[in-house]
Structure 1
Amino acid sequence: MECKKVNRNFKAVGIKGGGTFANFGTEVPKLARQFLTRIDEVANHSGTEIALFEPKKDVDHLEGRYYVGVIVNETLKEVPVGMDYFETAKSYITTRGKIMNIDHLHEQLLKWIVEQGYERDLESYIVETYHPIENSDEEVEIYLPIHH
């Protein structure tokens, strides 16, 4: 597994959700499926699914917000009803792997950040992009925001 530092600018349109961090594993995919029924309403989309997550700051931080949506190729003037346009340009530590290994990927990224001496940016959203591959499997690319 390769970890690296990148600067990325994400432009996306999506639906906002929220709830307890413990339920993100079921709630986020559920909202993503709802969003996909409306993806054709989004102009100029890339087809790449994206999710942004509020980071869990400490053990007492039990609820968070998230967005599920699709990356767009340019800034949108009109956004479908019930959706939001968001853009984030940050420094991230990133890795990519099979979605079934997502917990392990997150653990490895967190470990690598410490080893490299980076500091997480807990005020910025964690970004995940989703990429279908052969055999109906899927890969996830994870971007953890860091301070420069």
Structure 2
Amino acid sequence: MNGEKRSETFRVVGLKGKGNFAYFSTEVPRLAKQFMERVDELQAVTGPEVAVYEPKKDSDHVEGIYYVGVIVNEPLNSVPDGMTYIELDEEYALGKGQDIGTLHTDLMKWMDDQGYQRKTKAYIVETYHPLEDGGEEVVVYLPIEEA
């Protein structure tokens, strides 16, 4: 896997969810579907779909917060009812692929090989990019500690 280190700012408008980490694989897509049914309420959709996750810190940490939405280019002063605007500005290790499960594992290995430490107090970001063949490329951004 070819990982990369990059500073990135994400401006996200979306819906906020909270739930058990064990159920994120079904809860997050369900909330994303609800958001996409409302995406026309936004004036400034400029980027891809995005999911933002609170990282699981340890085995006792069973519930987490997540957001699903889209990236916008400019900060927003107002959003539709029930939606949230968040802005993240971190140093990330990022990797791209179509298999989300192996992507996270491979990126963690790449980070370890590079000597980077994961920053557990910052959100994980995934962006989703449709491909011409009907598939989807996912870009995973794992926050890293400053060296």
The residue number in structure 2 matching 1:61 is 61
Counterparts of 2:17 and 2:79, CA distance in 1: 17
- The Cα of 1:47 is off from its aligned counterpart by 4.2
- The Cα of 1:16 is off from its aligned counterpart by 0.3
- Letter aligned with residue 135 of structure 1: D
Counterparts of 1:122 and 1:59, CA distance in 2: 13
- Letter aligned with residue 106 of structure 1: H
Does structure 1 residue 12 correspond to structure 2 residue 12? yes
Does structure 1 residue 143 correspond to structure 2 residue 141? yes
The residue number in structure 2 matching 1:77 is 77
SS of the aligned residue for 1:7 comes to strand
Counterparts of 1:28 and 1:146, CA distance in 2: 23
Counterparts of 1:18 and 1:134, CA distance in 2: 33
Counterparts of 2:47 and 2:107, CA distance in 1: 26
The residue number in structure 1 matching 2:124 is 126
- The Cα of 1:70 is off from its aligned counterpart by 0.4
- The Cα of 1:61 is off from its aligned counterpart by 1.1
Counterparts of 1:60 and 1:113, CA distance in 2: 24
Q: CA RMSD in A?
A: 0.8
Cα deviation 1:103-143 (Å, max 9, x = unaligned): 10000111111111111110100000000002211110000
SS of the aligned residue for 1:77 comes to coil
Counterparts of 2:32 and 2:88, CA distance in 1: 20
CA contact (8 A) 2:118 2:143 kept: yes
Cα deviation 1:62-101 (Å, max 9, x = unaligned): 1111000000121112111000111011000000111xx1
The residue number in structure 1 matching 2:114 is 116
SS of the aligned residue for 1:14 comes to strand
- Letter aligned with residue 134 of structure 2: S
The residue number in structure 2 matching 1:22 is 22
- Letter aligned with residue 52 of structure 2: L
CA contact (8 A) 2:47 2:73 kept: no
SS of the aligned residue for 1:124 comes to coil
SS of the aligned residue for 2:74 comes to coil
Counterparts of 2:4 and 2:133, CA distance in 1: 27
- The Cα of 1:7 is off from its aligned counterpart by 0.4
* 5+ long unaligned stretches in structure 1: none
